[in-house]
Chains A and B, each alone.
Chain A
Amino acid sequence: MSELKITDLHVNVSGMPILKGVDLVVRQGEVHAIMGPNATGKSTLAYALMGHPNYQITSGDILWDGKSIIGLKTEEIAQMGIFLAFQYPVAIPGVSVANFLRTAINAHRYAKDPKDKGIPVPEFRQLMLEKMKVLKIDQSMAGRYLNDGFSGGEKKRVEILQMAMLNPKIAILDETDSGLDIDALRIVSKGINTLRGPELGILTITHYQRILNYLKPDIVHVMIDGKIVEFGGPDLALKLEDRGYDWLKVGNGQEIQ
C-alpha cells in the first residue's frame, strides 16, 4: 500500500512564498479533497508534487513510501505511479491521442522493465476502446490531436482517460470540475468513480463543492494562504458551501497578518 506524505512543505514561485507549511498524507484507496479560495496555493501543491522546475521547494519534504522524492525528475515521479490531471491540459498539435497514450504507457512499462518491448498494438487498442466506452468518449477521439481544439469537457475527459490508461496509485485532480457543465461533470465524475478502489488514492483539488457530491471524499481539507487550516469529513464541504471560507480565515487569525 503506497503512501504519499507531505510534511511542512514550503514552496516558492518566482521567489514568492506560496506554500507555507503543508502537511498531508494520502494513501492508496483513500479519497481526499482540498478546497479553498482562488490563489491560495492549491494548484501550486499539485505542480510541486510533480516536480515542476518553476516551483522551488524551500523546506519540508515529500515522501513516497517513506522516501523523499524531492529532486526526482517529473517523469520519474510519474513512473512511480503519481498522476496529475491538469486544470488546463496543454495542446500537443500533430500528436494523436492514441499515439500519445501508447507512448506514455510504454514509457511506464520501460521504466519498470528496460527489456519491455512495449504494449502490443491489439492489446493497446482493446484497452483504449474499453476505457473510452466507460468515459463515454467517442472512438474518433483516438485520432484527434491531443487537446488541440478540444472543448473544456473533452479535455477533462481525456485527462481521466489518460489516468485510466496509466493506472496510477495516487491521482491528483486539479480543478477537474472547472469549465464543465453539469452533464459533463456527471460523466467525468462517474468515470473517476469507476476507477476508484483499494488501489487508487485520489487527491482532488477544487473550490466548489459540487464535484464532491459525486466523488464523496473520505476527508476534506481546507487550504488558505498556503496552509491547510482545517480538515474534516464530507460534511465540512457542505458547511463551506453554506458559509464560505471567511469564518476559517477569522478562526485562524489570517486577517491579523
Chain B
Amino acid sequence: MSDLNRTNLIRGVDHSRYGFKDPEKYLFKSRKGLDDEVVRQISVFKKEPDWMLRFRLRALEHFQKMAIPNWGVDLSDLNLNDLYYYVKPTEGEGRTWEEVPDTIKKTFDRLGIPEAEQKFLAGVGAQYESEMVYHNIKEKLAQQGVIFLSIEEGLRKHPQLFREHFGKVVPYSDNTFTALNSSVWSGGSFVYIPPGMRVDLPLQAYFRLNSANIGQFERSLIIADEGAQVHYVEGCTAPLYSRDSFHSGVIEIIVKKRARVRYTTIQNWSTNVYNLVTQRAHVYAGGTMEWVDCNLGSKVTMKYPACYLLEPGAHGEILSMSFAGQGQHLDSGGKMMHLAEETTSKITSKSISKSGGRSSFRGWVKMKQGVKHARTNVVCDALILDPQSRSDTYPDLDTEEEAISVGYEASVSKIDEEQLFYLKSRGLNDDQAVSMVVSGFIEPLMKELPMEYAVEMNRLIQMQMEGSVG
C-alpha cells in the first residue's frame, strides 16, 4: 500500500512555519474568558431552545468546580482565561492566497490536492466546486432517510431525536474538558442512519472542507439504528492550521443492535494546538464500534476513544496510531468497558517518536463482575527513532470477573541498524530507509484507512522523515 517511490524533492517540513495571520474581522466574537454571560450569548446567538441553554449553564457550573488535569501531558501553559470561547468569522473574508506560506503550498502540491481545495484548506475563499457534489450526495442520502447535518441544524430540525441522545454517551460531568465543551460547544456533525441502511461517508473532499471549518469546541453526535452501518471520516492528512491554539471536542456515538460504526480520525493540527478530545460510543447487542485514530499533529494531544460494551455480543475495536515529532507530546490510547457477557474488544496501538517527540499509550480495559466469556486483546508497539525521543506505555486492566480472556502484548523498539543497512545496501538513502521501516511499522493500520488517505498519510510521514534533525 505504501507509496514510497516518489522521490524526496522537498526538504524539511517545519510546523512552526505554518502560522497564519488571523483576519481580524468577525461577525460575532465573545469577549475573552468564560462566564455565565458568555455562555448565554452563545446560546442566544445560535437561537437555541431553552433546554440547551440550561444544559450549557449546568456544564459551566460544573466546569468551574473542576481542575485542569495534572496527569498525562503538561497543561501548565494552558491559560483558559485567555481564550475567546466563541468566534464566528465573517464569511468570504480572510487571508489571501499570497499570504499562504510556500511551504504549505508545497505540502498541498505534494499531496496532490487540487488547487481549489488547497485554497479552501488554507482558509482562502469560501467557494468550492465540490460543494455541489457534496450537496447532491446529501440529497440522495436524505431520500433514504439518512440525516447528515451540522450539529446546529440537527438540533433545529430533529429536536426530539437530538435531545434523546445528546449528552447521554458523554455526560458533561465526565471530565474537565467535557464540561468545558458542553458549555461552549459549536460546530460538528449530526448523523442518523436508519435501521438496516448501509452508508459510506469517507468523502474526503467534503470532510476536508468540513474540517477546515471545524470549531475549537466541536461536538458530534452519530446514531446508527439497528443493523445500520456507517463509516465516518473526520479530519484530513493535509496539515490543518487552526486559528485557535485550543481544541477540545466531544464525539458521541450510539451503535444500536447489530449496527456497525467505524469512525476514523486523522489529526494533523499545527504544532501550536492543544488537542484534548473525548470520544465515546455506546454499543448494544451484537453491535460493532471501531475507532481508527491517527494523530500526527498538535503540540499536545490527550485522546482515548472509548467503547462501552453494554449488551451481550457487543464488540469494540480501537486502532490507534501516533507520530510524535519535535516538541510534541501525544498521549493517546483507548478505553474498553465490558459491561455485559460475551463482549469482545481489541486495542491495537502503533506509536512513533522522533526528534525528541514523546508518545504515550494508555490502554484501559475494565471487565465488570459477571461479564462471562468476555474477551479482550491489547497490542501496543512503539518505535523510537532516536535517543532524544521517548515512548511510554500505561496498561490498566481492571477485571472483576474470572471467566474471561485477556491478552496483552507490548513492545518498544528502536530503529534497527541492521534493517537500515540492508535497505541502504539496495540503494536507498538514510531517509528513504527510515521511512520505509516506519511505513512498514504502521502498515497494519494503514490497511484500515480508505485508500486515498493511506496514500497521503504515507507521503506525509515520508515528508516528516526527510531532512530531519536527529
Q: Give me the interface of A with B, judged by CB distance under 8 Å.
A: 50, 52-53, 73-75, 77-79, 83-84, 86, 89-95, 99-100, 102-104, 106-108, 110-111, 118, 145, 162, 166
B427 proximity list for chain A (CB < 8 A): 75, 78-79, 104, 107-108, 111, 166
Q: Mark B304-328, 1 if CB is under 8 A from A, else 0.
A: 0000000000000000000000000
Pairwise interchain contact B440-A118, C-beta atoms closer than 8 A: no
Give 24 CB contacts A-B under 8 Å. A53-B417, A73-B429, A73-B430, A74-B421, A75-B429, A75-B430, A78-B424, A78-B426, A79-B427, A84-B425, A90-B419, A92-B423, A93-B443, A95-B437, A95-B439, A95-B440, A99-B2, A99-B3, A99-B4, A103-B5, A103-B436, A104-B427, A104-B428, A107-B427
B5 proximity list for chain A (CB < 8 A): 99, 102-103, 106, 118
Q: Is B432 an interface residue (CB 8 A)?
A: yes
Known contacts A74-B421, A90-B419, A107-B432: A95-B426 contact under CB 8 Å: no
Pairwise interchain contact B426-A107, C-beta atoms closer than 8 A: yes
Known contacts A92-B419, A94-B444: A50-B436 contact under CB 8 Å: no
Contact partner of B425 (CB less than 8 A), chosen from A74, A100, A102, A106, is A74
A93 proximity list for chain B (CB < 8 A): 440-441, 443
Contact size class for B?
20 to 34
A108 proximity list for chain B (CB < 8 A): 427
Which residues of B, 407-443, contact A by the 8 Å Cβ criterion? 416-419, 421-430, 432, 436-437, 439-443
Pairwise interchain contact B424-A166, C-beta atoms closer than 8 A: no
A50 proximity list for chain B (CB < 8 A): 421, 425
For B428, the closest partner residue in chain A by CB is: A107
A106 proximity list for chain B (CB < 8 A): 5, 7
Q: Give me the interface of B with A, judged by CB distance under 8 Å.
A: 1-7, 416-419, 421-430, 432, 436-437, 439-444
* Residue of B430, B432, B440, B441 contacting most chain A CB atoms (<10 Å): B440
A166 proximity list for chain B (CB < 8 A): 426-427
Pairwise interchain contact A100-B436, C-beta atoms closer than 8 A: yes
B418 proximity list for chain A (CB < 8 A): 90
CA distance A83 to B416 in the complex (A): 21
For A99, the closest partner residue in chain B by CB is: B2
Pairwise interchain contact B440-A145, C-beta atoms closer than 8 A: yes
CA distance A83 to B425 in the complex (A): 7
Contact partner of A103 (CB less than 8 A), chosen from B4, B417, B442, B443, is B4
